[in-house]
């Protein structure tokens, strides 16, 4: 009798069990003070999104986290600035652990925490949570892009604002995921520039869903959600160029309102809106500040890619420049500090003209 034909796992080399979310959260619990930081920022972001608060949300921080010490250094620098900014800005630190790639490359701290191709995901998950808890201990709320549906079980309780990236606004998996997340979530326009894809993502995520997922014990589960009412558009430019100008913002908000969204959105000053240049990104941020100062209330948030040192460098397991991005080029700290101050001034001007 012939042996049965093998039909499964033909391209799978290994399967490594991961600790359950319940276990990791028990080992690295969210303290009461940290949960207060998370919850307060979520409420503030919702209020700005829905027009109950006239401040500006600024999501600012490294393109992706690769060095825990530098990430916490950056968080402490932000924390020192917040008291002088909090009347005008809701500052949220960009704490991204998963990096989408157009083809191949370093996938982020969760996937490859040692930057050496060893893909020690068990260590990456714990390290990501440790960093989030450190950022919250500094008093700074965190933002994260959710790239796939499993890792949020390990970190989402510590996140105040989430994003669905430009490659995924049409993905049913990501729309379902967003429907169950506990924080406001922005959907970026698609890579080719489609705003409708982001609007459709928001509409879908606002609806209840039932889908495949895992429970806190890490078991396969049917997940039932109530829908997320706080999803919104992020303009990040596209294949046809930038889309942060006043006409593009107004046009995107018009599409969003037709879909039942609030008439406010977030603008990403990086990516397609700056050609991934840190110099141009700062210029875009200043142009957005001028628009806000002139009374544009269709922008409720701005995203900035920023780290301690400007520019970027190739990822490597050693020999890296401290505080410099290993993915996209970032604005340096000194310029970031100036930009945050200028954005606060712009908000005050908008408030005075309202």
**Sequence spans of domains, the chain:** 21-353
Contact 63, 144 (CB under 8 A): no
Q: How many CB atoms lie within 10 A of CB 29?
A: 13
For every one of its 354 residues, what pLDDT tens digit does the chain have, with 9 covering 90 and above? 688 899 998 999 999 999 999 999 999 999 999 999 999 999 999 999 999 999 999 999 999 999 999 999 999 999 999 999 999 999 999 999 998 877 778 999 999 999 999 999 999 999 999 999 999 999 999 999 999 899 999 999 999 999 999 999 999 999 999 999 999 999 999 999 999 999 999 999 999 999 999 999 999 999 999 999 999 999 999 988 999 999 999 999 999 999 999 999 999 999 999 999 999 999 999 999 999 999 999 999 999 999 999 999 999 999 999 999 999 999 999 999 999 999 999 999 999 988
pLDDT (0 to 100) of residue 263:
98
- 210 three-class SS: strand
Interacting residues of 248 by C-beta distance below 8 A, sequence separation 6+:
235, 242
Any residues with CB less than 8 A from the CB of 167 and at least 6 apart, and which? 100, 190, 191
Supply the DSSP symbol for 244. Answer: -
Q: Which residue has the tokens 């890619």?
A: 305
Torsion angle defined by CA atoms of residues 79, 236, 43 and 207, in that order, rounded to the nearest 10 degrees: -150
> Which pair of structure tokens corresponds to residue 234?
């992020």
The CATH fold of domain 21-353: TIM Barrel (3.20.20)
pLDDT at 2: 81
Name, in order, each residue with C-beta under 8 angstroms of 228's C-beta and a sequence gap of 6 or more.
Answer: 178, 179, 180, 181, 184, 185, 205, 206
């Amino acid at each position: 009798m012939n042996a049965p034909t093998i039909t499964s796992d033909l391209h799978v080399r290994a399967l490594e069990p991961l600790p359950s979310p319940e276990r990791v959260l028990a080992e690295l619990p969210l303290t009461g003070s940290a949960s207060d930081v998370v919850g307060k920022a979520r409420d503030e972001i919702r209020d700005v999104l829905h027009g109950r608060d006239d401040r500006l949300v600024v999501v600012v921080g490294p393109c992706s986290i690769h060095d825990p010490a530098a990430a916490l250094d950056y968080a402490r620098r932000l924390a020192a600035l917040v008291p002088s900014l909090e009347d005008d800005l809701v500052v949220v630190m960009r704490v991204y652990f998963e990096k989408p790639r157009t083809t191949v490359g370093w996938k982020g701290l969760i996937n490859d925490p040692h930057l050496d191709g060893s893909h020690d995901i068990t260590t990456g998950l714990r390290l990501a949570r440790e960093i989030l808890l450190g950022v919250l201990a500094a008093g700074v709320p965190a933002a994260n892009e959710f790239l796939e549906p499993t890792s949020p079980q390990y970190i989402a309780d510590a996140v105040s604002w989430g994003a669905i990236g430009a490659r995924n606004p049409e993905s049913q998996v990501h729309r379902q995921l967003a429907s169950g997340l506990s924080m406001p979530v922005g959907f970026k326009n698609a890579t080719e520039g489609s705003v409708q894809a982001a609007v459709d993502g928001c509409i879908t995520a606002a609806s209840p869903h039932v889908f495949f997922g895992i429970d806190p014990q890490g078991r396969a589960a049917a997940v039932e959600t109530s829908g997320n009412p706080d999803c919104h558009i992020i303009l990040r430019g596209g294949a046809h160029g930038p889309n942060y100008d006043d006409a593009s913002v107004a046009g995107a908000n018009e599409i969003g309102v037709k879909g039942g969204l609030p008439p406010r959105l977030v603008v990403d000053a990086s990516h397609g809106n700056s050609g991934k240049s840190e110099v141009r990104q700062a210029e875009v941020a200043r142009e957005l500040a001028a628009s806000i100062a002139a009374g544009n209330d269709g922008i409720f948030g701005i995203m900035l890619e920023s780290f301690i040192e400007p520019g970027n460098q190739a990822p490597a397991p050693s020999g890296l420049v401290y505080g410099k991005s290993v993915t996209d080029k970032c604005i340096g700290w000194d310029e970031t500090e100036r930009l945050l101050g200028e954005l606060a001034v712009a908000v005050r001007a908008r408030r005075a003209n309202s």
